[in-house]
Amino acid sequence: MPDSETSPETAAPSEPAGKGRQTRLAILDCALQMAGRIGLEGLSIGVLADRMHMSKSGVFAHFGSREELQISVIRHYHETFEAAVFLPALEQPRGLPRLHAMFHRWLQQVSLEVETGCIYISGAVEFDDRPGPVRDALVLMVQTWQAALRRAIEQAVQAGHLREDTPVQQVLFELHGLILALHHDARLLQIPDCAELVRSAYLRVLGPWTTPAGEQMLQELQSPCA
């Protein structure tokens, strides 16, 4: 999600498709599912080997260390997040249509992850005060996503959908806060219909900053036929 709006390659350098690459992806899929339930710190090469019906040495050969496994899982999650949220949103025109698509696809993704957990959020709890390569990888992925959101807000200003005095960083902060609240209240408190509360709050965050053209566009985007 770089400034050019094309997605960076977050995976390892390209390599011929083959059994080794397929096995690595299968291991990462399994590790990602495990990390969603037990956290990145809960990952171990031994447990993962048991789940995959492989030897420890077989799993170790793909990653080399537990730390590299954790970093690879973070990158793998980022790739799946991009594919589900960011890249489809780029198909929308710049401005509120794209920002709207990014936020609502993000909302949908986190809603699906209420049962499995979000690596961005759970990883922050685990590594927020633990310097090192795993934290650095996690921070980079989150910052990359926030930069894409910030750019979408700025483009909505440039398109005349949001006012020129829109506080971009404040809007970004509030939109991110809505997702964190959804994850917390849906998972911990098990409050029903959290996603609907977030959709309503999203309109309140943007409402004060929309231009007349932006307000009409928001109404159109909220339409069931949109």
Mean pLDDT score of the chain, rounded to an integer? 88
Identify the residue whose tokens are 């990014």: 102
Write down the pLDDT at residue 64. Answer: 87
Write down the pLDDT at residue 20. Answer: 80
CA distance 134 to 66: 10
CA distance 177 to 39: 21
CA distance 64 to 149: 34
Q: Is 162 helix (H, G, I), strand (E, B) or coil?
A: strand
CA distance 61 to 20: 10
Model pTM score: 0.85
- Reported CATH class of domain 66-222: mainly alpha
Burial class (CB in 10 A: 0-12, 13-18, 19+), 127: buried
Three-class DSSP labels, 99-123:
HHHHHHHHHHHHHHCCCCCCHHHHH
Identify the residue whose tokens are 């094309």: 6
Report the pLDDT averaged over residues 130-143: 94
Write down the pLDDT at residue 3. Answer: 45
pLDDT category of residue 119 using cuts at 50, 70 and 90: confident
Question: Which has more pLDDT, 165 or 192?
Answer: 165
CA distance 178 to 180: 5
Sign of CA dihedral 10, 33, 140, 114: positive
Query: Over the stretch 57-99, which tens digit does the pLDDT of each residue have?
Result: 988 899 989 999 999 999 999 999 999 999 999 999 999 999 9
